[in-house]
Amino acid sequence: MSTQTFYEKNLFSQISNLIAGTLYNVQVTPVKCNRSLNPQSFSFYTIPSAIRDLTVVEVTTSSLSLNWSKPEGNCDSYSVYLTSLTPSFTDKKTIECSTNACSVTNLKSGVQYNITITAKVNDTIEGVPFSASHYTKPSKISSITPENNSSKVIKASWTKPDGYQSGFEYCLKEAGNISCQDCNIQNCDGSSNCTISRNCSITTDLSMEESGKSAGTMYCLCVTPLTNDNSLAGETTVTSTYTEPNTVNLSLTPDSKSIFSNWTIAENYQSFQVSIRESESNNILQSDKTENLYYTFQGLHAAVNYTVTVTTVNGDLKSDVVTVSIFTKPTKPESCSAKGGQAGINVTYVPPIDSGNSNINYSVKYISSFWKEENVTYTNKTNINIPNLQNGTTYRIEVRVVAGSLMSDPCTAEAQTEPEKMTLTLIMMCSSIEPLYCGKITTKDDMLKKLTDLTNPTLNGVYWGLKWVNRN
């Protein structure tokens, strides 16, 4: 404790070299003729000095943690005043702190605050103010909504978070086969002031769009709110988004009970949705998902028209559907028979087992080698009557299963129409140097055989016959 004593002829005095923030007692004694009269006493505090070295040690979306050096002299406590400097965000906070470290809570996110701190003594006397400004962190975006992306364009939007943002930093990173955890768009080095990373963009909009991307690819999309002229970043929101995959070039190779499908595709893909249905009924028979560039549909019926669809899948996005129809290979009827009648033939046949109960088509062809005549009838029935044929003619019948442009091997049968018989008399003269040769039975039989062999190639395929007629 120090004491100052001095004599003054005036009715006032300037006291200097005092300690800031200190309580002083003053006694004024009148002196007359070297005699001290009744003294007058009072006390006062000097004003505290300004604090020093204000530091913001931690920043959140709703608080600022402050630290500073004590002022020179003395002080009992500190008053901390915060006032919003960001337009449209009116906010004021006042707190009392007993030490030189203090946290201010319930602030608005992303807002710039003017911070004023004064040292206090005697709970009422505030010292020289010290002022600085700082931002709270901007609030995190709650979610990102991918839009209708195309094969080359990524679009997304988000809802504005609470508080103030000077902009938004977004970054796209091709994910490959990894899940999206981050986009490596911040470089904070342990501090709140983050530098803007490369390959990212800043926008003041609540949406983004980038073109020139690879089709069928998963991207990590990260969006970070910014404040303080885009120099202070909030927490990053990460989501995965996809470009729409390309359609495939589809090829089909049928067998009687299966269809092998294979395809090619440009650029990237995740998987394929494949399905098959009967074209006539439109009922889906099989549906599956595969990551291969091929698929075999088994357990099908022969000679049936099937429609195969392949859709490229990439996350929640799907390409346009590629559709190709094809018939399975037909197999020939199990059996067939033909029965001739008057100028017509009735043909009956049994469907192939491989076709099951499917509705299939047939071609029924008749051939006459004698008349050099043939004709084909198409039908989906299992029996047919062929009218207007030549009487007494042998016809070859060929029944095939028809499937588009494909035909099975034939099931064959023969039948002869009923003849209208006519008699033609041939008279032959026999002469021989051998006595009684022409009268022998063996001579007649031998002649009849030779005549039959001679005639057969000409009349093959129609009804005819030769026999001797004895004429007396």
CATH of the domain at 204: 2.60.40.10
Ranges under pLDDT 70 in the chain? 1, 176-178, 182, 184-199, 455-466, 468, 470-472
Distance CA 366, CA 339 (A): 13
Statement to judge: residues 389 and 426 lie in one domain: no
pLDDT at position 187: 46
pLDDT at position 30: 86
pTM over 0.75: no
Statement to judge: residues 411 and 448 lie in one domain: no
CB environment 429-462: b (16+ within 10 A), e (fewer):
eeeeeeeeeeeeeeeeeeeeeeeeeeeeeeeebb
User: Which residue among 386, 416, 446 closes a domain?
Assistant: 416
pLDDT at position 298: 96
pLDDT at position 458: 66
- Asked if 390 contacts 371 with a C-beta cutoff of 8 angstroms, the reply is yes
* Number of independent structural domains in the chain: 4
- Compute and round to an integer the Cα radius of gyration of the chain: 54
pLDDT at position 121: 94
Q: What's the domain range around 305?
A: 249-327
User: Which residue among 182, 208, 242 closes a domain?
Assistant: 242
440 in a structural domain: yes
User: Which residue among 180, 208, 242 closes a domain?
Assistant: 242
Statement to judge: residues 385 and 429 lie in one domain: no
Q: DSSP 3-state assignment of 293?
A: coil
**Lookup: tokens for 42:** 């009072």
Q: If you search the block for the tokens 């294979």, which residue do you land on?
A: 262
168 in a structural domain: yes
**Alpha carbon distance, N-terminus to C-terminus of the chain:** 182
172 in a structural domain: yes
